[in-house]
A and B are shown apart, each in its own frame.
Chain A
């Protein structure tokens, strides 16, 4: 099975900060990676697909990059509504999907 790790597991940041989260796969997954945002008590929301493509309607302050085993998710200027948990999800070995353990972004 492909294992996904994320770092950090949590971070504290202020409004306006640049935030970077990394996701690492245990083997080459090409660009087969998505990023989701989840707020407490809510379902996850797709933000980035295929590692770097912004889902329709998602603000441009969100971005993703990477390929192979190492991926990065960035919020260029953190907004109050961005405090949430972020998950990466691989789909290299469809039909088995696995998510990373998540990164919680909270207010400093």
Chain B
């Protein structure tokens, strides 16, 4: 059974770039028709889809974040990554990585809290 695990700094300074990695185990990131997504959740609030990458390397991003987001994949390490630039306090949230078919998020990481503060 596939497992996902987020990793990265828990504290990022305002205006800097948030960088997170999702390590996939129990299955190859390059196999199957799966999309690999990032989703975030501010404390006490709802879920916001950030973007996704397909096994082909094609990406889709939320329009409101598109100018600041890059999602990439490293097949050799079985990982995919999120970079969010020019962060502000509004980007403070728990960030989840997730896997799914075209339209659903089936497998999730446990989530990692990222706080934007100086």
State the A residues within 8 Å of B (CB): 1, 32, 34, 36, 42-46, 49, 55, 87, 89, 91, 94-102
Contact = CB atoms under 8 A, between A and B. Distances in A.
Contact residues of B: prevailing secondary structure: loop
A49 B104 contact: yes
A46 B105 contact: yes
Interface of B: 46-49, 52, 60, 62-63, 96, 98, 102-106, 108-111
A91 B106 CA distance: 14
B46 A100 contact: yes
A94 B63 CA distance: 12
Contacts, number: 50
A44 B110 contact: no
21 contacts: A1-B63, A32-B103, A34-B104, A42-B110, A43-B96, A43-B98, A45-B108, A46-B104, A49-B104, A87-B47, A89-B47, A89-B105, A91-B103, A91-B104, A94-B103, A96-B49, A96-B62, A96-B63, A98-B49, A99-B46, A99-B49
